[in-house]
A = this chain, B = another copy of it.
Amino acid sequence: MQPESPPPPPLAGTRCVVTGGLGFIGSNLVRELAGRGVGVTVIDAMVPQHGGDRENVSDLEVPGLDVKVLVARIDAPEVADAVAGAEVIFNVAGQVSHLASIEDPLRDLDLNLRSHVAFLEMVRVAAPGAIVVQTSTRQVYGRPQYLPVDEQHPTSPVDINGIDKLACEQLHLLYGRMHGLRVSALRLTNVYGPRLHLDRPDQGFLAVFIRRALLGDDITLFGDGSQRRDCLHVDDVVDAMIAAATCPEAVGEVFNLGHHESLTLADIAGRIIAACGTRSVVTCVPWPEDLEKIDIGSFQGDYSKASDVLGWKPSVGFTEGIRNTIGSYRERAWSPSST
């Protein structure tokens, strides 16, 4: 009697597209998918100074794995061929910096909204009925009126990036209702983990904290450091994305991702420094005026809808996750010490 072979993991044998797949979150997703026997087409514009890095997936472009990389903007004409017949599309591409969006609002609009309109127009023709998972952001809520923030909370973004990302999320869901794509959207909070680029600007405060702690530099907090965040390890985000892609009840829905650990920025900085084992010191300075205007105070996402519908919850605690992250930088040639 032969032993039964285990069932294939979800999405095994399907053809998926991952936009932004050379970047931080995208490449972690691509690696997980490739390991499951998924055929993956990566589309990434390799925008200079963004998170995209060919090294993130170069070891996957080998015989035995079915990973193809197209370096192109998501609105480039050749993308129509690249998405043709895709069963699942993870649309992760985007510009993530709030400050950059205010300094160059037309660029943010182009990267976070206009190119996605063109992309969806191609997808609805070339991959009709495809499952589409869009990565949105907690930034759509703006300054919370209550905590934790559930999906019923009003959307009132406080910066250009949040405005463009909200419109992008609404656009995705509309293409689902209008054109038959099976769309869901995940509103991410601050994400960290291996392949978060530390030596490029605008990758978020966690990248700054980790880089400075690794180098032994002091970490400066605005205000008194008592603001809270619920940080997510990228492995948990990848789990949620795959859950959304494989759950029929996710179609047409928006889900918060969040974490039950609500940590102050001072605590986050302290744990990062402890994991690095350096002599960095945390200091507090008053808010710069321009940044205070777009500050949102504390944030924590209520992820009970994702828990109920997708069966998802975060599994990586911050202390464990940050140790794993710091360890990854010590192993890799592009860690800050090598730049």
**Using an 8 Å CB-CB cutoff, how does the interface string of A142-178 with B read, 1 for contact, 0 for none?**
0000000000101111111001101100110010011
Of all chain B residues, the one with the shortest Cβ separation from A167 is B167
B163 touches A170 (CB 8 A): yes
Q: Are A106 and B117 neighbours in the complex by a CB distance under 8 Å?
A: yes
Copy number in the complex reads 2
Specify the chain B residue showing the minimal Cβ separation from A106: B117
Residues of B within 8 A of A174 (CB): 157-160, 163
A 99-157 contacts with B by CB, 8 A: 102, 105-106, 109, 113-114, 117-118, 121, 152, 154-157
Residues A109 and B117 in contact, CB atoms below 8 Å apart: yes
Task: Using A160-B171, A163-B174 as known contacts, say yes or no to A118 and B102 having CB atoms under 8 A apart.
Answer: no
- Report yes or no: B154 in contact with A170, Cβ–Cβ below 8 A: no
Q: Interface residues of A, CB < 8 Å — how many?
A: 29
Q: A294 interface residue, CB < 8 Å from B?
A: yes
Give Cα A335 to B293, complex, Å: 50
- Set of chain B residues within 8 Å of A102, measured between Cβ atoms: 178
B167 touches A164 (CB 8 A): yes
Q: A254 → chain B, closest Cβ, in Å?
A: 10
Chain B residues with Cβ below 8 Å from A152 are 154
Residue from the set A102, A170, A178, A293 with the largest chain B CB neighbour count within 10 Å: A170
Contact (Cβ within 8 A) B293 A177: yes
Task: Provide the bound-state CA to CA distance between A170 and B167, in Å.
Answer: 10
Residue in B117, B118, B155, B293 whose CB lies within 8 Å of A178? B293
Residue of B nearest to A117 (CB): B105
Q: Which residues of B contact A177 (CB under 8 A)?
A: 158, 293
The CA-CA distance from A150 to B155 in the complex, in Å, is 15
Instruction: List residues 247-274 of chain A with CB under 8 A from any CB of chain B.
Output: none
Q: Smallest CB–CB gap between A176 and chain B, Å? A: 11
Could you show 5 A-B contacts with beta carbons less than 8 Å apart? Answer: A105-B121, A109-B117, A157-B170, A160-B171, A178-B290
